[in-house]
Copies of this chain bind each other. A is one copy, B any other.
Amino acid sequence: MVTSDKSFRPLRQRPSFVLSQLGFHSDRTFDELLVPVGVTRRQYGMLRILADADGRTQQELSSVLRVHRNVMVGLVDELEAAGFVERRRNPADRRAHAVHLTDRGRALLPMGEAALDACDDQLFGTLSAADRETLGDLLARVADAAHLLPGVHPGYEQAGDAPPNPISSRGRSNTRTG
């Protein structure tokens, strides 16, 4: 028989655990805010990448978003069916598909940005402006120390045969369906 029964530190006082809780909560909140926009989190991440540099190949997009190229096919399919992007042939390399934002896709970007604003407000609205900034700074420092890419969500590390981090870009994607 083991003695133990020592009292453990409550999980609310475990920053890494609270971080996990809040990360999940953040995802869910953003998911809901994105519903009226009409895209998923991952889809918005794609559009955001394209906003920075239109016309990337699916391969390049796969690397940035950290999804496998097989998954990227479906992602582009969805967005193309919704009229947010279109595939164009690259005359230089007719194997590659250049993915371009449509006007409709571009018009969606500010809506996603507004959803992000709302998400931040919803999560941190109870904090004072000073506390909010302090928290943002600390989180950014921790993310830097963990070597998390500035805008790439670690939820899709299975980049498969894609080259490692070719473009230091931004993306948002995740699984965590819960």
Asked if A155 contacts B24 (CB within 8 A), the reply is: yes
**Inter-chain contacts of A103 with B (CB < 8 A):** 1-2
The residue that A151 contacts in the complex, of B1, B10, B22, B110, with Cβ under 8 A, is B10
Whether A131 is near chain B, meaning CB under 8 Å from some CB there, is: yes
Whether A140 is near chain B, meaning CB under 8 Å from some CB there, is: yes
Whether A89 is near chain B, meaning CB under 8 Å from some CB there, is: no
Asked if B140 contacts A20 (CB within 8 A), the reply is: no
In the complex, the chain B residue whose C-beta lies closest to that of A104 is: B2
Pairs A–B under 8 Å by Cβ, sample size 27: A1-B103, A2-B107, A9-B113, A10-B150, A11-B172, A13-B140, A15-B120, A15-B135, A16-B29, A16-B120, A18-B139, A18-B143, A19-B19, A20-B27, A20-B30, A20-B172, A21-B143, A21-B154, A23-B23, A25-B148, A126-B141, A127-B138, A131-B141, A135-B142, A174-B178, A175-B177, A175-B178
Beyond the given A19-B23, A175-B177, please list 15 additional residue pairs across the A-B interface where CB-CB is below 8 A. A9-B116, A10-B150, A10-B170, A16-B116, A17-B26, A18-B140, A18-B143, A21-B148, A22-B142, A25-B154, A28-B154, A126-B142, A127-B142, A134-B134, A175-B175
